[in-house]
Chains A and B, each alone.
Chain A
């Protein structure tokens, strides 16, 4: 029965571009909130080893029968990518999954940050959880926790065009350029692999998950590859939360002047700092490049003003909001 269902959709499957398929070694994919293995098919046909995360128990049997037929090429795990590593204490109940268990069952060991990409992940972010998930992944990335504990895991995800524009926004694009833009751009290389118009090609998908899409909007398949040099200079997994906090505070009101922010936090001699970084004194926070924020953070970090001010309390408190 699973076959029939999949064959129906085969013809409308979004084509994964050639270059995305070539050097696949091992992949996890997830479908929200449940999935009729469209991507599975494509990936399996490309001949790669696939681990499928299935969040709905109703779809499990089909996938499992496929797993049995494929002789090790496919591994099916009952779990929900959006409930990966929940913060709650106590045992993790499925479909919530623990990344440690997940990687262990895949037989993947952690590699150093600068090593090659150990795993590629494919999936779709449903619009409702899109922003949420992007934030969670971001914190994991900067903390080297969850999936990023195993190295520079590459994410290949479909996201909405709107969110894609935010992720790749340039300074001075007042509406689009947000904390999320700065933080992802500092953390990852962002590549657009493919863009599909939702209006016709993916109508079946829309019916399933994307009730709220605007007409003529697109789904973007993007690749997020963590940067090798993310943890150089002053940036460490341990202090990166401060960086995230700082960027968020700065861009909460994008047209505010950076110097006012710095002074109101009484962190440092704001004027002197900006002069050293060669940032104009009247710069608005929306005009700073991601790299500027990084330099600003490194400068403040090296002067160790953060640790002796209220700032680090605030950072801690902000962690509460990470795991929404």
Chain B
């Protein structure tokens, strides 16, 4: 399940250290979702995450919770800025304040209110303290606003203001002045003077057209001004494209013998139509679709409730609109100079009706258990922001340009266009250059600070809570009539803090449940794309047509990744961008027969065994108890609580499945695409959060490649092997044996395919039943076709890395024994590292038991693969002895007849044994891990964050800082927002513990991207779920070969030496004056790269079970 897996991923990326420490490691980094077993543990996260219409950024790490400290609740602009903060210009806090000012000015610019923009600027300019927050960009925005109106003298005034505070005008300042001059065609002399000043400041006229991000008609006006003095001025030619120099991709980027880019099975016209559909959806920002429950018949009660809801909604619309207008009116009356209300412009960006619409959506999606105030506030704020960005893209004509380029871009992919050897990114860049758009497609980054989003959201939420009311007696006419709020605000108390929740009144929940409405509204970025994604060409341009998508997803409020990506030479990012484009260009379609079976079970009673969540009506009912709850005894209350908890869990699971299936059902007849982005280690993820190929067994089973390929001579065999892999049987057997087994049980397979719900149901016993069923059906179709080799299959076949983290470690350290146990060495049968470790531990135990060690005797018969598995797996991710012991204790507790009094001793003993076995098997691995950990510790202790660059050139920084919380004062409740600030000291423990796993993940993502790019050159369809690679049955062999080649190539690089050199340069460069003690120590540590073993890496090429 996506959410669940996201949780695991998130834990890894954000809190890998904690994961290791507390041993909570749900160590399945792989996305084999044994959903049933794990569902319970992760329900909490589900509950939090399963809110529809949620933002793209998956990791809501900024915890916001109620703050009990009393503060005056006020919503004024931050007026008193601590002096100290202003002096440290690099501090995050400073940047956030600066960003807030810029977004405010941009709002005024958007609203075409130069006077307001200027007075806001003056408010800061005239105060010696606040003035320090202003940069040239702030003045430029005001200049541009005046330029639109042709007010030259205002611009001149601003220039002198700049001068008075000692700031130098930049290109954008001159662009604004020239635009203004071009607009009213004033004297050539003025233009000449301006150009002269521009040159005096060290700029060139050409720079204007190469660097400025022009919007609307700005470029034309500037050009006109320039041509007033140089009538023959020609636009500078676009810079020639650069080529990535990475050794790993020399062949890939070499201009010789490039095959043409693979075509899609669509004509240009068809692609154009699909683009228009996608554009339409994104322009609306949200889309309402019918849920899969819509097929159920409607009861009279539901009809009545729906009518009631409709009436209520129209009343609420009116009252919310009124409240909003009233609050805006009150704000507008506040004297601008005395206490400027920063929220006011943000409430003017959209028509009032749109704000109301967005606010009322909260009511439609709020679960009966309620939702945290902070989450709701952020959601509301983000929605307003997204809407505003859409409007800005329209206004600035950015969308128009994107549209124009996309229309041409289609020719790269359309089957009726000329073959073409460009990569999507290269082709897009070429088209942009040809159209003379310069850099202006790169929309100016104007994201709102996280605090601002929250503040805006809180304000809207307060209005909503106050304005939406319902008559108390609406369901029970006997009660006296009185209007009561539909939403109420309560605190939920955790051991040391309190969380503010917004909950719907039970009356409202009752009406909603009676109405059982079947329309679902999603943000447009939740849906898969209906046309090929816009190729990534920079860290903030790509993926969706309109929706703001960032290349790297990160924690709310963190800006360090973005800064790092912008600072690095853009050519270094090409491999990553190209790999993402390749993954995103894979076209998908729905496996309709499987989807229909799933929906039929879903709409019936669900099936927990098959991971189809049952409806709430199937929830356990509490025992009938006295109607007056105060008369209940403790156990009755307890039972009721358990029932409620179960119902809440079922609700969130059900909703999650409902969203996925409904989205799948909506695109059932369409071809669709998943644009991809990366996390900060470079691991790739599809952008749409609910329905994608990273999802659980159910979701994966309904996805097929849109492109079909004949099975070829070996394809059917691969399908059969894949089926056996999905069952989880025959794990220890050779491929040939798995194939033979499949042939033996062919009858069962065909029975499953033909009578999935009425036959012998062999498929239901598989580890991944739904994918197994889909595979059975494919095998049935293929084997019954007259020529199976010619049968056109859309079915993805998976190849899975066996314990991929350890594979990378073993390869890094060239550990021979380790390499054998994780299948880097060719073997006749697959090796299972967990069994090997378990056997070895058992050996030790026997010896100890003979020597009379009590605990070794107690443990007789209890050591198994299962007991050691989690710990071995998480060793890769840096689990400590402490965490390892906890894991062991958990496993032993699961064994019924294990004596409880020995738990502590036994787990302690076991973890010691497992660690020493691993140390023996992967001797270099442990050294490398220690080296990484120790280096990270020293770096973090010196007050810096750990940074590195992947072999593909992606810069990485670990975003772990000592959290500091800021209190956001709001009327309803104070929110304490924890944010990881780059001006904070790094969190040493996290920096240290998370470095080894993050580093390994940066390597596995590199391996995946290399494989993806080389598969592209071979014309293969390729997608991945981290260390699980998918392709057509026909091309499994080729993919396997590429996968091994690239693994060998990657690890033939001097990865650790390169890392050491990079870090020495970064942290110990001789330029720094004083060599502190820490620096000497760090230098020694970093220079001392661990020695490696003598495993011959080339052997991987012949290893069948490396990925299988």
Q: Tell me how far the C-beta of B477 lies from the nearest C-beta in chain A, rounded to whole angstroms.
A: 14
- Contact at B637–A316, with CB atoms within 8 Å? yes
- Contact at A264–B506, with CB atoms within 8 Å? no
Known: A252-B491, A264-B465, A265-B488. A93 touches B637 (CB 8 A): no
Interface band, chain A: 35 or more
Asked if B68 is an interface residue, CB under 8 A from chain A, the answer is: yes
Given A93, A248, A312, which contacts B491 in the complex, CB threshold below 8 Å?
Answer: A248
CA–CA, A142 to B69, complex, Å? 27
Known: A253-B70, A321-B493. A89 touches B638 (CB 8 A): yes
- Contact at A318–B70, with CB atoms within 8 Å? no
CA–CA, A268 to B255, complex, Å? 78
Given A93, A131, A132, A313, which contacts B506 in the complex, CB threshold below 8 Å?
Answer: A313
Asked if A16 is an interface residue, CB under 8 A from chain B, the answer is: no
Chain A residues within an 8 Å CB radius of B641: 316-317, 319-320
- Contact at B66–A252, with CB atoms within 8 Å? yes
Asked if B333 is an interface residue, CB under 8 A from chain A, the answer is: no
- Contact at A239–B630, with CB atoms within 8 Å? yes
Chain A residues within an 8 Å CB radius of B645: 320
Asked if A87 is an interface residue, CB under 8 A from chain B, the answer is: yes
CA–CA, A236 to B631, complex, Å? 11
Q: Tell me how far the C-beta of A88 lies from the nearest C-beta in chain B, rounded to whole angstroms.
A: 10
Chain B residues within an 8 Å CB radius of A253: 66, 68, 70, 973-974
Known: A252-B498, A321-B494, A324-B495. A310 touches B629 (CB 8 A): no
- Contact mask for chain B residues 489-517; partner A; CB cutoff 8 A; 1 contact, 0 none: 11111111010100101100000000000
Asked if B644 is an interface residue, CB under 8 A from chain A, the answer is: yes
Chain B residues within an 8 Å CB radius of A175: 69
Given A178, A308, A310, A324, which contacts B488 in the complex, CB threshold below 8 Å?
Answer: A310
- Contact at A249–B490, with CB atoms within 8 Å? yes
Chain A residues within an 8 Å CB radius of B484: 266
CA–CA, A248 to B506, complex, Å? 21
Chain B residues within an 8 Å CB radius of A252: 66, 68, 491, 493, 498, 500
- Contact at A310–B506, with CB atoms within 8 Å? yes
- Contact at B900–A93, with CB atoms within 8 Å? yes
CA–CA, A89 to B484, complex, Å? 39
Chain A residues within an 8 Å CB radius of B488: 264-266, 310
Asked if B628 is an interface residue, CB under 8 A from chain A, the answer is: yes
- Contact at B485–A264, with CB atoms within 8 Å? yes
Q: Tell me how far the C-beta of B472 lies from the nearest C-beta in chain A, rounded to whole angstroms.
A: 8
Asked if A238 is an interface residue, CB under 8 A from chain B, the answer is: yes
Given A87, A132, A324, which contacts B638 in the complex, CB threshold below 8 Å?
Answer: A87
CA–CA, A319 to B638, complex, Å? 9
Known: A264-B489, A314-B490, A320-B645. A254 touches B630 (CB 8 A): no
By beta carbon, the residue of chain A nearest B973 is A253
Q: Tell me how far the C-beta of B487 lies from the nearest C-beta in chain A, rounded to whole angstroms.
A: 9
Chain A residues within an 8 Å CB radius of B492: 318, 321
Q: Tell me how far the C-beta of A262 lies from the nearest C-beta in chain B, rounded to whole angstroms.
A: 12
Chain B residues within an 8 Å CB radius of A307: 628-630
Chain B residues within an 8 Å CB radius of A127: none
Known: A132-B495, A238-B630, A312-B629. A255 touches B489 (CB 8 A): no
CA–CA, A254 to B629, complex, Å? 30
CA–CA, A266 to B473, complex, Å? 13
CA–CA, A254 to B505, complex, Å? 24
CA–CA, A320 to B646, complex, Å? 13
Chain B residues within an 8 Å CB radius of A308: 479
- Contact mask for chain A residues 285-320; partner B; CB cutoff 8 A; 1 contact, 0 none: 010000000000000000000011010111011111
Asked if A174 is an interface residue, CB under 8 A from chain B, the answer is: yes
CA–CA, A239 to B631, complex, Å? 9
Q: Tell me how far the C-beta of B461 lies from the nearest C-beta in chain A, rounded to whole angstroms.
A: 13
Which residues of chain B from 45 to 76 have a CB within 8 Å of any chain A CB?
Answer: 66, 68-73
Known: A174-B70, A253-B66, A310-B506. A316 touches B465 (CB 8 A): no
Asked if A34 is an interface residue, CB under 8 A from chain B, the answer is: no
Asked if A145 is an interface residue, CB under 8 A from chain B, the answer is: yes
Asked if B96 is an interface residue, CB under 8 A from chain A, the answer is: no
- Chain B contact residues, majority secondary structure: mixed
CA–CA, A87 to B503, complex, Å? 27
- Contact mask for chain A residues 48-59; partner B; CB cutoff 8 A; 1 contact, 0 none: 000000000000
Asked if B640 is an interface residue, CB under 8 A from chain A, the answer is: yes
By beta carbon, the residue of chain A nearest B369 is A317
Given B472, B493, B630, B637, which contacts A248 in the complex, CB threshold below 8 Å?
Answer: B493
CA–CA, A324 to B506, complex, Å? 26
- Contact mask for chain B residues 877-921; partner A; CB cutoff 8 A; 1 contact, 0 none: 000000000000000000000001000000000000000000000
- Contact at B634–A145, with CB atoms within 8 Å? yes
Chain A residues within an 8 Å CB radius of B500: 252
Count chain B residues whose beta carbon lies closer than 8 angstroms to a beta carbon of A: 42
- Contact at B644–A317, with CB atoms within 8 Å? yes
A239, A252, A265, A317 — most chain B CB neighbours (10 Å): A252
Chain A residues within an 8 Å CB radius of B973: 253
Q: Tell me how far the C-beta of B480 lies from the nearest C-beta in chain A, rounded to whole angstroms.
A: 11
CA–CA, A248 to B490, complex, Å? 10
Q: Tell me how far the C-beta of B619 lies from the nearest C-beta in chain A, rounded to whole angstroms.
A: 16
CA–CA, A255 to B69, complex, Å? 9
- Contact at B638–A286, with CB atoms within 8 Å? no
Q: Tell me how far the C-beta of A218 lies from the nearest C-beta in chain B, rounded to whole angstroms.
A: 23
- Contact at B493–A318, with CB atoms within 8 Å? yes
- Contact mask for chain B residues 634-658; partner A; CB cutoff 8 A; 1 contact, 0 none: 1101101100110000000000000
Chain A residues within an 8 Å CB radius of B71: 255
Chain A residues within an 8 Å CB radius of B644: 316-317
Chain B residues within an 8 Å CB radius of A313: 506
- Contact at A255–B70, with CB atoms within 8 Å? yes
Given B68, B495, B637, which contacts A319 in the complex, CB threshold below 8 Å?
Answer: B637
- Contact mask for chain A residues 62-102; partner B; CB cutoff 8 A; 1 contact, 0 none: 00000000000000000000000001010001000000000
Which residues of chain A from 121 to 147 have a CB within 8 Å of any chain B CB?
Answer: 131-132, 145
Chain B residues within an 8 Å CB radius of A286: 70
Chain A residues within an 8 Å CB radius of B72: 255
CA–CA, A255 to B970, complex, Å? 12
Chain B residues within an 8 Å CB radius of A265: 488
CA–CA, A265 to B490, complex, Å? 9
Q: Tell me how far the C-beta of A11 lies from the nearest C-beta in chain B, rounded to whole angstroms.
A: 35
A175, A265, A317 — most chain B CB neighbours (10 Å): A317
By beta carbon, the residue of chain B nearest A254 is B70
- Contact at A316–B70, with CB atoms within 8 Å? no
Which residues of chain B from 608 to 643 have a CB within 8 Å of any chain A CB?
Answer: 628-631, 634-635, 637-638, 640-641
CA–CA, A238 to B631, complex, Å? 7
CA–CA, A247 to B638, complex, Å? 22
CA–CA, A254 to B72, complex, Å? 11
Chain B residues within an 8 Å CB radius of A316: 629, 637, 640-641, 644
Chain A residues within an 8 Å CB radius of B69: 175
CA–CA, A316 to B68, complex, Å? 23
Q: Tell me how far the C-beta of A215 lies from the nearest C-beta in chain B, rounded to whole angstroms.
A: 23
By beta carbon, the residue of chain B nearest A88 is B638
Chain B residues within an 8 Å CB radius of A89: 635, 638
By beta carbon, the residue of chain B nearest A320 is B641
Chain B residues within an 8 Å CB radius of A317: 641, 644
By beta carbon, the residue of chain B nearest A265 is B488
Q: Tell me how far the C-beta of B231 lies from the nearest C-beta in chain A, rounded to whole angstroms.
A: 68
B488, B628, B631 — most chain A CB neighbours (10 Å): B488
Chain B residues within an 8 Å CB radius of A254: 68, 70
Chain A residues within an 8 Å CB radius of B503: 310, 314
By beta carbon, the residue of chain A nearest B476 is A308
By beta carbon, the residue of chain A nearest B486 is A266
Which residues of chain B from 342 to 384 have a CB within 8 Å of any chain A CB?
Answer: none
10 A-B residue pairs with CB within 8 Å? A178-B68, A248-B491, A252-B66, A252-B500, A253-B974, A254-B70, A316-B637, A317-B644, A319-B637, A319-B641
Q: Pick the 8 closest A-B CB pairs, nearest first.
A: A266-B484, A252-B491, A255-B70, A238-B630, A239-B630, A310-B506, A174-B70, A254-B70
Contacts A131-B495, A266-B485, A316-B640 known; list 7 others, CB within 8 Å. Answer: A178-B68, A249-B491, A253-B973, A255-B73, A314-B490, A316-B641, A319-B637
